[in-house]
Each structure stands twice: as structure tokens, then as C-alpha cells.
Amino acid sequence: MKLKLRVWRQKNAHTPGQFVEYHADNLNPNMSFLEMLDVVNEQIAAKGEEPIAFDHDCREGICGACSCVINGEPHGPHDKVTTCQTYLRSFQDGATVTIEPFRANAFPLIKDLVVDRTAFDRIIQAGGYISVGTGHPPDANSLPVPKPLADLAMDAAACIGCGACVAACKNASAMLFVAAKVSHLNLLPQGQPERDVRALAMVDQMDKEGFGACTVTLSCQAVCPKGISGSFIAKMNRDFLRAMLLNP
Amino acid sequence: MKLDARIPSGPVPQKWSVCKRDLKLVAPNNKRKYEILVVGTGLAGSSAAATLAELGYQVKVFCLQDSPRRAHSVAAQGGINAAKNYQNDGDSVHRLFYDTIKGGDFRSREANVFRLAEVSVNIIDQCAAQGVPFAREYSGYLTNRSFGGAQVSRTFYARGQTGQQLLLGCYQAMLRQAHLGQVRIFPRTEMLDLVVVNGHAKGIVVRDLLTGKISSHAGDAVVLATGGYTNVFYLSTSGRGSNVTAIWRAYKKGAAFANPCFTQIHPTCIPVSGDYQSKLTLMSESLRNDGRVWVPKQPGDKRPPAEIPESDRDYYLERMYPAYGNLAPRDISSRATKRVCDEGRGVGPGGLGVYLDFSDALRRLGRSVIAERYGNLFEMYEEITAENAYETPMRIYPAPHYAMGGLWVDYHLMSNLPGLFVIGEANFSDHGANRLGASALMQGLADGYFILPYTIGNYIATAKQTRPQPDAAEFRESEAEVAATIKRLLAIRGKKTVRQFHKDLGKILWEKCGMARTAAGLQQALKEIPTLREEFWQNVSVPGDDADLNQSLEHAGRVADFFELGELMCRDALARNESCGGHFREEYQTADGECQRNDTEFAHVACWEYRSAQQPPVRHIEPLTFEEAHLAERSYK
Amino acid sequence: MLDRVWKSTLGKKFLMAVTGTGLVLFVFVHMMGNLQMFLGPEVINRYAAMLQTSIEFLWPARFGLAIFALVHIGTGITLTWQNRQTRDQRYATRKLVKATLASRTMLWTGSFVALYVVYHLLHFTIGTIDLHLAEMKTPDGHRDVYRMLIWAFQDSRVACGYILAMGVLCFHLSHGIGALFQSLGIKKPGYEPLIYRLARLAALGLLVGFVSVPVAVQLGWLQ
């Protein structure tokens, strides 16, 4: 199969970028989207030009490195998968495919399709942890966690920190990412002592990074490759309100 | 080369206590004066960085990725072993120790493995306290499943994302220390050289991948936790960024490289579908709890799987290894798979695949139970292959997965270069010639949380070395060398892409130093690799420049090191005239095709010493003795 | 704490939601009042007289509503302004996954409603737009709301304007009612689809309730 690609090329943060067209021929529908970019990059590199830069690592949908907005959708047309797990069979032969980086002021562009998502690390750093040092905590089974609760916490913890929620949100809001971590830790009994400070600190940092507010469109949930539920945002709102009221 | 393993005296089960008793300590108010450099942020690196910082050391952490959370530990699916015996099925520290030693085909160091089994129980407690959402029973207690090479259920898991959840646990612990100012993180930063001052590892030279800036960091100790090197095969289950560069540069600065030829080929990966393929995807070993592996009895049987009656199927793992069945260890299963495919009984395009069939389990347990256990794996399989494994069996084939080999370390996890500590997959220590499933996560966290933080203090307390300034002459020299290599790569402007060279190298290694090896093949590889390497340095095309993000340049530097590593792997495989674990020399096999170990000549660790580009490396040995686990034929029948 | 409420995006969303809830309740009560048109002049006029004469109730309510409206508008404008600062470089192609038209136009529908409210107050409450309305009194001297509405809605321009405004208001509410549950954190996983469906249903119910009066007048059912 064949595709016509319109790819955002930008040398670095200081140079303006533009779309460049590439023709990708002799493709196989079983190729992953990134393998298609590999093939295009091989052709570009063979001409001595700089290949398209894009973030990727595990290529099995778990590291959260790959990004890209494909035809206007973060991680492409297929639901609940990352770009690296998008296969060409999701596209029509001969179609034009527009590939852009994730766009948000909180994710400054680095080069081509690569953006800087360290804002997420700083949000976790503000409070996304349980403050237990390495040592000899009590036996793991001394604190039973009801299975439904553990499962719900796991649903939230499945977030891979890719930033698609921000990319899809009309306000570039990071609520789903932050809510997933707040919920994961605040649901578990281990996370209760820091429940309030965690919610306050992480939300403060989120605001500082310049992400927008939630307009409850739930487009974040729709594009999330791990299918994280938008109801965790309600959970975080609840925790935040509670924390505000209890810690005036 | 002096290789003192520093194994404490006393019976094996007491050695870690003896060691801890004798370790020198650094006083709390002094710890803050010491700076430790940790390279790599997988389970081992992040857990070590967090723990060292909690103790009070100043820690600098370096990783290639844009965030430490993306290190490839994140991709581990199935689980983590621990000798908790929560299932009351006869598990114990000793049994985990013995399973691991036997799983490694008696080529690992007994004292290290025992300690690993001993601290495994603490890991689960630690992770549960951090909020890792392990799978639980309705009682609220932790649940387990079984993995290859064990007859007990000792594997803890968090759906199919255990690695991710454990990594997030230590990543969060590390970021907490960053919040407290104890840890400084340098993402998108690649270590390109180790700096040795007065015989001690005292710093590293790094390149900022965004700006190309080369700089030095000096520390009181250097910890390498940079993972494994199976990307040397080009196609592997490793992340695309996984590489050997950090430990390779340390090797070239004098650290011994142990057992480079011990690489693990994992039996359950999705088969290669075309030459565009960029990586191989693992299907967790946990699937073999309920999936049955089979091929048609007749070579060339092209019927769809549903039309092949039971009588025409060969459940070869159950037939060959009745005691362990489909849960035979990885090396054994991979080899058996290769054998049936070589007989022409493989399935799927190219005949390189076997069925992993869930129909029995689906009948027995129902779809919802299977979906709960493996739902995300089935989804992932369907994403990749467009086949529904609930209806038709999965097709799987072995793929390079893990490097048991790595830098040599002593009992303190310190290499022969004082001050250089190596943890996790980057070292060689615990898995011998084959690693059991769910043991890599265990080792990474054991090293990082519970072993290194003790032993590094002993080094600092006893070495009494001052920390050099990062502008000392040794650093300047290293920086100049690194810069020169980069310049050289960019100046070639050849015709062949880096990826093509990598593919070609991978092909040589997969064919000649992969699942089965022969002396003739290895000798052939030792001729082909240097030729290809020459060509690389004359004809590689590295577009772009050094001032911005340049992924081709990064890749080129790593492939350059893979060439040298590939050669050493072949040398090592050629020198080890026996078969053991993942190292299968066709000349050394039993009548029924199993590994034939040679304990009289090869019960040792092969440690390679780098001399120079012109001279071949020297092979040293560290003899292995077995007191607690007695050398025995490794049988899973 | 007040500082945090105003400074954080979540706090502002909370204010939006609380004031929005208050305003929605008012809208609902208002609609219930309007529907009394169908019970005849005595009923609605008695209701209107009750409201008009309970000064102790009327003015605090008016005051409260004004504050709620101002806070709602203030946070709405601030949040929208903030949200506009988050993406300087826009997408070339954009598939608006999930984001409904209502959710994307809250500021515009909200502004329209605010302007209409001003007109509506001038029209009916203060009576400066149609001077006839002020003269309509019941025999005991109270406002003859029944006649006022019939008179006003017999003018098809007024009726159409009213119907349009109610349409916009309920469009605004079709997103707002559902969203306030999220902002206030009142939600259980798995219930969102239900919440959004009920919210849209409630908005539709309000629309039908409001529009029924001018439609009935235009069709001559109410005279």
C-alpha cells in the first residue's frame, strides 16, 4: 500500500517549522505506524538528509515515549492504543496522513515530532508518591486491600504518562494524567496519610506548568491509550476540595 | 587482572548476614558530603538512586529517555518472584535459590543467588508499602501465579504490567528525593565514557542529547544500571534505545566483561512478519500457565489449526518435559521450538512459529477468567497480528530477550574497578547461563533497594579517595576522545544507513551466535564482524550535525559499540566448549539434544579484559564452587 | 483557602460549578413559575404577588442571584482566557474527539444568555422596553403577570427571541449540568454516561417547559 505523508518538520525550538510531504510506497498493512516512519527515514537518510525525529522506545505501548497527532488525533485513529501500536491496516491505501507533534505550551517542541514532557515529572515530583523509605515495612499481607479497590487503583495506575490527554484537550489540560496518579495513590490505604497534601501539591504544580483547566469534554478519556476513565478526574476534584476544606 | 569476588566466609545462608556485619559505615552527617552518579533509571537504577538519597548521599541520575519512567523495565509484563510462600505450596528461600541456580544451569555465583532469594521477600513488602497495585484475592491478600522453571506459585503481578508498576514505585520514590533536593535528574543524557582516576572510577562523561554538549560529572562512586544488550541482535524484545554503550565504555576503561555470550532467547514472542520489522514483541511467559504449545505432527501440515485433530498435534513441551510441561524454562523451551521448526513442523509464514493454544483453558475456565488473567496480552496480540487468540491459537517464536552476561562484579556488586558498581541486567551476577521468568525484576530491585546501598557505603568508608574536580586532566582527555569519535562519525558521510549496518550485524549474530552455536559458525562470524565494522567506519551515513537532537548520531555511536560487543560475544561463545543454559554449542549435546555441561573445565565465569584496539582481549576466569546447591544434571523431565 | 480557590484551576471550576448549580436551580424554579400560566390567571398572579410582596425574601434572592451570576461569569471568563494561553501553535488538522459543540462554546452561549438576561430584566422586571407592560395591574394593584405574558408573547418577535434565548440557555446547560458533577467530584466510575444522559434530558425538559408558554400563546391556546 501507499500513503502520502504530511509531516511537521522543525529543526529546533528556535527555528520555525512547516509541513513537508513524503511519499511512502511499498508499505505493508501489517507494518506499525512507526515502522512506516522507519522506512521513510531510511529513504531520507539514504539521501543524506536528516531523518524525521520522533520519540519511541518500547514499541509495545507501555513506555509512553511515542506521541504524534495523526490526522488530528493523538496516537492515531485506533482506540486504546499508542502510536507504536497503530498499524497501517487502520489507514486506507493512498490516503494522505498528517503527522504533527503534540501541541501544548507546557510541552515545548524540541525537534520535528519530539516534545518536552518533563512537566509531567515535575508534577509527580510535587507529590505523586507515598513517602516510604526503603527499609523494613510491615509484611505485604498485613495490610489487606479489598480486591475491587486494588483493581480500581490499578485502572488508574495504568497511565503511561504519554501526554495524549493534554494533546487532545482543547485546553491542553493535564487533568487526566494528574487525576490518574492522585487516584491511584489516594484510593489505596497506603496512600491515606498523604491524601490531602498530595492532591494540593500536584494540582498546584499542574497549574504552575501552564496546563489548562478541565472543561469536562472527556476527549482525554477518548484518546487515552490505556482507557483511563474520566471519572478519576471527579475523584481528584473531590480529593482536592476535601483537602482545601480540611487544610485552610 | 585481579578478580576477588569477596565472598564472605561461613555457610552460604549466613553469608549476607556476615557481610552486613562486617561492612564499614559512613556516618549520617558525612553521607551528604559524598556524591554518587547513577546511570540508568530502570528498576535497578531508580531504586538505588532513591535509596542512596534516602540514606543522605547526594545523587545524580542520568537517563537516555525524556523521563526516567520510560526505562525499559517498564515493559516487563508477567511478574516478580519472591519466596513468600503465601500459597503454602512448599516455597522457601532455599527453594527459590535452588531453582535460580538450577535455572541458570550452575553458572552463577551461589552466594549472590542465595542473597537474592533472601531479600526477595523484602521487595514485595517494600513495593506494597509504596502503593504498587499488586493483584489480590477477594480476601484482600496478595495472589500469585507460576512461571517457568518453578513448581511453586511465587510470582506476584500487577495485571500484565508488573514492570511498569514496580518501576513507577521506584521512580516515584526517586522523584520524592528529587523534591527533597537529594537527587538531581538529567534526562535525555547519554553516558559516553567512564573516567578513572588513580585506578578508581570517579566520574563519567555525558552528552546532552538535545544540545550535543559534552560535559563531565565527578563523583565518589559510579553506579551503572544501564540494562542489557540484546539489541546487538537488532531484532529483540528490548526497547529501541537499549544499548551496551555505558558498560562497553567501562569495559574499555578496565572493567571486566563477564560471560558476554550468555544471552537469553525468550520462547514466547510474536513471530517476525517482514523485513521492515523494528522489534519483537514478547508475549508474557505467564501465558504458558494456561496456554499449551503445539505443532502439527507431520512436517508441512498446512491445515488451519482448528482442522488439525488432537491426534495430529504434538504438544512437544508436555511430551519432552512432562514434569514441567509448558512451564519448562526459557532456554529449554526456545531450543525445543527451534528444533520442531527445523524439522519443518513450524506454522505460519516462513514456518517460524508454533501454536500457543488456549482452547483447553477457555473450555475449563471460561472466557471471562482468561480475559481477567491475560486480557491485555490478548488485546496486544490482536493489535499486532489482527488475530483473535480467543478463537484461534496464538503463534509464537523465540526472540532475544535478556542478557545474563554483563560487567563482572564481586559480592559487593562492585566491578574490578574500585568505585564502579554495576547493578541489574548490566551486571552478570545472578542468572548464570539462563534466567528464570520473573527473576529480572527481582534482581533489579534487590540490587537497588537492598544490596548496593549497604555495600557502596563500605567502599566509601574504606577507599578514602577524594573526589576529583570535573575539570581534572582525566576528564578533559575523556571528553576530547568522546568528541573526536562523534566528529569522526559525522565526517564519514557514507552511503549506508546506521540501521542497515545494525540489521546486518544482527543477522550475523542471530545466525551464528543465537539459539545454537558451532565452532565453525563462530569462527566465520569472527571474520565477518570485523569486515562489517571496517565498512561501517568507512561508509556509514550519519546525517545532520551535533548541535541539536540527532537520533542517527546516537544510534551510530551505539551500533559502533555493538560491533565490538558482537565480536566479544562470539569469542566468548567459541571459548566455552560446553553447552549450558542459553549457550548451546551443537558439538556439546546429549543423545536427546539437551545441553551437555562440562563442569570440570567450565564451571567458571569467563571474564574478559580489554587491552587495546590492536590486541585481542584476555580471558580470565572466576571459578565457581557449589556448597549449598550440588552440581547436578539439569533436568525438567 | 480562598486564595487557593481563586488561584487554582480546580478551585475556579469549583466556583463555576457551585454558582452554576445555584443558577440552574433558579432557572428550574423560574420555569415552574412560568408553567403556572397553564393554571389560569389567578394562580400565576397570586404566585407573582407572593414573590413581589415578600421583600425579605425577594431582595436577598435577587442579591444572591446577582452575585452568583457575577462569580459564574467572572470565573468563566478567567478560565477561558487562561485556557486560551495553553496552546500557541494550533493543530493543522484537528479531529475534535468527543468535545461537543456545547462544551466548546460555553463562553459564547454564556455571554448570549447574560445579555439576554439583561434584556429580559429590562423587558419584564423593570419594564423600560415595553411601557405597556408596567401598566398591567390586577384589581388589587399587583402586576398582572398573566396578561403581561400574553401581551408580550403575542408579538411574534418577542416570542421568537425568547425561544431562541431559551434554546441557547438549555444548550449551555446541556453541557453545564453534566459537567458540574465532575467539577464537584460527585461521580462514581461507570455512571458518567448516565449522568450525561440525565443532564441532557434535564436541559431538554427545561427547554420544553420554557418554550411551552410562548408557543401556547402563539397558537392561541393561552389567551
Answer yes or no: do B497 and A46 touch at CB < 8 A: yes
Q: Average pLDDT, stretch B198-222?
A: 97
Would the pLDDT of B635 be above 90? no
Helix axes B452-463, B43-55, angle to 10 degrees: 60
Question: One of B109, B159, B330, B558 is an active-site residue; which one?
Answer: B330
Q: Cα separation of B478 and B206, whole Å?
A: 10
Is the residue at B137 inside a domain? yes
pLDDT of residue C96: 67
pLDDT for the residue C193: 85
In 10 A of CB C106, how many CB atoms?
20
What value does the mean pLDDT take over residues A25-52? Answer: 94
- Give the burial string for B539-576 (b: 16+ CB within 10 Å, else e): ebbbbbebebbbbbbbbbbbbbbbbbbbbbbbbbbbeb
**pLDDT given at position B621:** 97
Residue A5 has pLDDT above 70, yes or no: yes
**pLDDT by residue (tens digit) across B607-625?**
999 999 999 999 999 999 9
Total domains present in chain C: 1
Q: pLDDT band at residue B372, thresholds of 50, 70 and 90?
A: confident
The answer to whether C89 contacts A223, with C-beta atoms less than 8 Å apart, is no
Q: What is the pLDDT of residue B375?
A: 85
C18 within domain boundaries: yes
CA distance B477 to chain A (A): 30
Note whether A98 contacts C93, CB cutoff 8 Å.
yes
The whole-model pTM stands at 0.96
Per-residue pLDDT, averaged over B7-23, amounts to 97
Q: Please check whether residue C126 lies inside any domain of the structure.
A: yes
Average pLDDT of chain B, as a whole number: 96
Whether residue B414 lies inside any domain: the answer is no
Task: For residue B437, give Cα distances in angstroms to A205, B86, B243, C13, C110.
Answer: 39, 19, 22, 48, 59
**β strands within B408-483, DSSP E:** 420-422
CATH number at residue C59: 1.20.1300
Q: Do chains A and C touch (3 or more CB pairs under 8 A)?
A: yes
Contact B420, B201 (CB under 8 A): yes
Least Cα distance to B328 among B342, B312, B315, B344 occurs for: B315
Pick B148 or B325 by higher pLDDT. Answer: B325
Q: Please answer yes or no on whether C189 and A231 come within 8 Å at the CB atom.
A: yes
Question: B330 an active-site residue?
Answer: yes
**Higher-confidence residue: C86 or C5?**
C86
Q: Which residues of C touch A217 (CB under 8 A)?
A: 98-100, 103-104
Asked whether residue C92 is domain-assigned, the answer is no
Tell me the per-residue pLDDT of C168-179, one tens digit each, with 9 for 90 and over. Answer: 999 999 999 999
Residue B180 lies in a domain: yes
Overall average pLDDT of the B491-495 stretch? 95
Residue A85 CA to residue A225 CA, distance in Å, equals 10
Average of per-residue pLDDT across A23-46: 94
What amino acid is encoded at C101 in this protein? L
Burial class (CB in 10 A: 0-12, 13-18, 19+), C188: exposed
Q: What is the span of the domain harbouring residue B297?
A: 267-400
- The answer, for B144 touching chain A at a CB cutoff of 8 Å, is no
Residue C38 makes CB contacts below 8 A (sequence gap 6+) with C212, C216, C222
> Are chains C and B in contact at 3+ CB pairs closer than 8 Å?
no
Quote ipTM for the complex.
Answer: 0.97
For residues A9 and A20, is the Cβ–Cβ distance under 8 A? yes
Q: What is the pLDDT of residues B423-461, one digit of tens each?
A: 999 999 899 999 999 999 999 999 999 999 999 999 999
Question: Distance (Å, rounded) from C-alpha B532 to C-alpha B560?
Answer: 11
Number of independent structural domains in chain B: 3
Check pLDDT > 80 for residue A245.
yes
pLDDT digits (tens, 9 = 90+) for A95-126: 999 999 999 999 999 999 999 999 999 999 99
> Which candidate from B54, B86, B500 shows the least CB-CB separation from A133?
B54
- C138 assigned to some structural domain: yes
Other Cβ atoms within 10 Å of C4 Cβ, number? 17
Among B44, B48, B150, which Cα is nearest to B97's?
B150
pLDDT band at B229 (very low <50, low <70, confident <90, very high): very high
> Is the pLDDT confidence value at A37 over 80?
yes
Q: Model confidence over B57-113: pLDDT tens digits?
A: 999 999 999 999 999 999 998 899 999 999 999 999 999 999 999 999 999 999 999
Model confidence over A160-179: pLDDT tens digits?
A: 999 999 999 999 999 999 99
Distance of CA A13 to the CA centre of its chain: 21
Minimum CA–CA partner of C89 in chain A? A103
Residue C2 has pLDDT above 80, yes or no: no
Residues in chain A, total: 248
| B433 and B341 part of one domain | no
Q: Note the pLDDT of residue B286.
A: 86
Please tell me whether residues B507 and B383 are part of one structural domain. Answer: no
pLDDT average, residue stretch C50-57: 92
> What CATH number was assigned to the domain covering residues A3-111?
3.10.20.30
B118 occurs within a structural domain? yes
A150 and B134 Cβ atoms separated by less than 8 Å = yes
Contact C187 A231 (CB under 8 A): yes
Pairs of CB atoms within 8 A across A/B: 227
pLDDT at residue C3, as a whole number: 83
Residue-number span of the structural domain to which C117 is assigned? 2-85+99-218
Q: Determine, yes or no, domain membership for C189.
A: yes
Locate B218 and state its grid cell.
565527578
pLDDT at position C127 is 85
Q: Which chains touch A (3 or more CB pairs under 8 A)?
A: B, C
Phi, psi of B486 (to 5 degrees): -65, -45
Residue C72's pLDDT is: 97
For residue range C191-220, list pLDDT tens digits in order.
Answer: 888 998 999 999 999 999 999 999 999 999
Mean predicted confidence (pLDDT) in A64-82: 94
- Cα angle: C20, vertex C25, C26; to 5 degrees: 95
- With 0-12 / 13-18 / 19 or more C-beta atoms within 10 angstroms meaning exposed / middle / buried, residue B613 is exposed
Helix (H) or strand (E) holding A98: strand A96-100
The answer to whether position C76 is within a domain reads yes
| For residue B295, pLDDT beyond 90 | yes
pLDDT for the residue C190: 77
B323 and B396 inside one domain: yes
**CATH assignment at residue B272:** 3.90.700.10
Q: Do C104 and A73 touch (CB under 8 A)?
A: no
- Chain B CB contacts of A110 below 8 Å: 210, 549
Q: How confident is the model at residue C131 (pLDDT cuts 50, 70, 90)?
A: confident
Is residue B558 a part of any domain in this protein? Answer: yes
User: A118-132+144-246: what fold?
Assistant: Fumarate Reductase Iron-sulfur Protein; Chain B, domain 2 (1.10.1060)
pLDDT above 90 as % of chain C: 77
Residue of A nearest to B445 (CA): A134
Nearest to A141 among B141, B239, B498 (CB): B141
Nearest Cα to B37, choosing from B585, B624, B452? B452
